[in-house]
Every structure is written in structure tokens, then in C-alpha cells.
């Protein structure tokens, strides 16, 4: 397992659902640590090019750690792009699912293997916004529409 060189006080990510688009905001250094720990094909690079250089390992990692069910059917995700914003990244995914949902179930366990206090906030944006707070003791939520 990779030894973390720096520590910071808060471990959090925000996952926004905008219909079939998914945006994950996370700390860049946490993403680098998780990909380095998870994937032998990790490619060291500067912060600006990290997501581009490691697109396949990042997509593979999130396919394992971010499980999405729409109306009882697994939804797949595909990494589209990333945007660096200060010390964090917005990772944008396209989701293969129905246009309209009755139930959305999410398991978001990313980074929890490295950071026991990691919290992942789910935000569903639509006619009515909905939120979930996921932790290592409760990494799954379900939302009815």
C-alpha cells in the first residue's frame, strides 16, 4: 500500500448528478494517492496533466468504487473530461441510463480505502434537489423520485 506523504484536515468529495451527466469534485492530491495505490499503470505527471495522462486508470477506479443503479439496473459511466480548479478537480462522466428515474441507488466508496474519515456528498440536481452523505460506515444511499 502506498504511504501518504501529506495529510490534510478534511477528506470530502461532491458527486453531482445532472441527468445523465455526473460531476465529481475532489481534492487532486487525494485522487493521485488513490490512483497510485490502486493501479500499477499509474503515470506520474504534473497536476495540470494528471487526469489526461491517467484517464484509463481513473475511469477504471471509479467504475469499481462508484456503483450506480437506476430503477434497479446498473448504470455504466465513461470519463469525458476533467477540469482543474485550484487544489481540486472536477471529473465529468457520462452515464448510460434512462432519461427519467424512479429510484437512484448509489454506492460511493472512493478514497475510503486510504482515508477512513472520507465523506462523499451526493447531490441530485433536478426539479427538486436531493442530497445524501456517504461515509465508510454508510457508503450507500437510495433516492426515490
pLDDT at 7: 64
Q: What burial letters (b/e) apply to 28-57, b meaning 16+ CB within 10 Å?
A: bbbbbbbbbbbeeebeeeeeeebbeebbeb
Strands 119-125 and 12-18: parallel
| Alpha-carbon distance values, 78 to 9, 91, 100 (Å) | 31, 10, 19
- Residue ranges for the chain with pLDDT beneath 50: 1-5
pLDDT at site 60? 95
Alpha carbons 111 and 91: distance in angstroms, whole number: 14
Amino acid at each position: 500500500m502506498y504511504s501518504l506523504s501529506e495529510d490534510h484536515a478534511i477528506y470530502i468529495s461532491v458527486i453531482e448528478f445532472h441527468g445523465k451527466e455526473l460531476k465529481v469534485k475532489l481534492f487532486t492530491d487525494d485522487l493521485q494517492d488513490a490512483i497510485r495505490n490502486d493501479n500499477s499503470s499509474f503515470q506520474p505527471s504534473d497536476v495540470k496533466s494528471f487526469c489526461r495522462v491517467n484517464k484509463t486508470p481513473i475511469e477504471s477506479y471509479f467504475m469499481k468504487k462508484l456503483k450506480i443503479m437506476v430503477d434497479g439496473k446498473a448504470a455504466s459511466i465513461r470519463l469525458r473530461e476533467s477540469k482543474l480548479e485550484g487544489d481540486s478537480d472536477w471529473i465529468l462522466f457520462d452515464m448510460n441510463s434512462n432519461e427519467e428515474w424512479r429510484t437512484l441507488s448509489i454506492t460511493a466508496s472512493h478514497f475510503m480505502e486510504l482515508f477512513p474519515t472520507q465523506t462523499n456528498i451526493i447531490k441530485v440536481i433536478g426539479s427538486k434537489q436531493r442530497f445524501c452523505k456517504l461515509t465508510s460506515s454508510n457508503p450507500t444511499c437510495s433516492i426515490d423520485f
